[in-house]
Amino acid sequence: MSPPFNVPGGAPRAAPPSAPAFPPSAPARASSSVVTAPERSSAPAATDGPPARPPINPFLANDPNAKAKRLARALVSDIVAYYPQKREEGARDGTLKQLFREEIKKSYEEYVEQIGREFAETTTHFQDALNDVLAGGKKLF
C-alpha cells in the first residue's frame, strides 16, 4: 500500500497546506486560582407572548387511544417478526386464526395487562392491529 499522498506514477509529494485543526485560543485572562462559571441572570427572559412549547412527540403522547393503538401494533408486529413463514402459510391457506391462536392469546393478555381490561374490551385497537398487521389489511379478526 502506498503512502496517502503519493501521486500514481510519480514521486511522493507533501501534504497540502491546511488551516490548523483548532482555531487559536482566546487570550488568557489575568491569572486567578479560582475558575468560575459564567454568571446567569435569575430573572426570566422577556418574551412576547406565552413561552414556546416543544413539539409533542407522538410516541410520548398522553392520549390513551394512541398508546393503546401503538401497543397493539407493536405486539402484533412482534408476532409477524418472529414467525414470518408461519404467517405466509396462514395467509396462503386461510388459517391465520388457527395457526396463531396461542401467540394472539399471549399478546392480548399483555395488551390487557398494560392498558386495562375495560379499555381493551371497549375498543377495537387490538383487533384492528391483527387485521392490519397480521392479516395484511384483510378483515379476518
Q: Give the model confidence (pLDDT) of 78-99 as tens digits.
A: 999 999 999 999 999 999 999 9
What is the model's pLDDT at position 140?
87
CA nearest to 92, candidates 137, 135, 141: 135
The larger pLDDT score, comparing residue 60 to residue 82, is at 82
The larger pLDDT score, comparing residue 48 to residue 7, is at 48
Q: Which residue has the cell 397493539?
A: 72
Give the type of residue at 94.
G
Over residues 29-54, mean pLDDT: 55
Angle of CA points 121, 123, 127, to nearest 5°: 90
Whether residue 66 is predicted with pLDDT greater than 80 in this model: the reply is yes
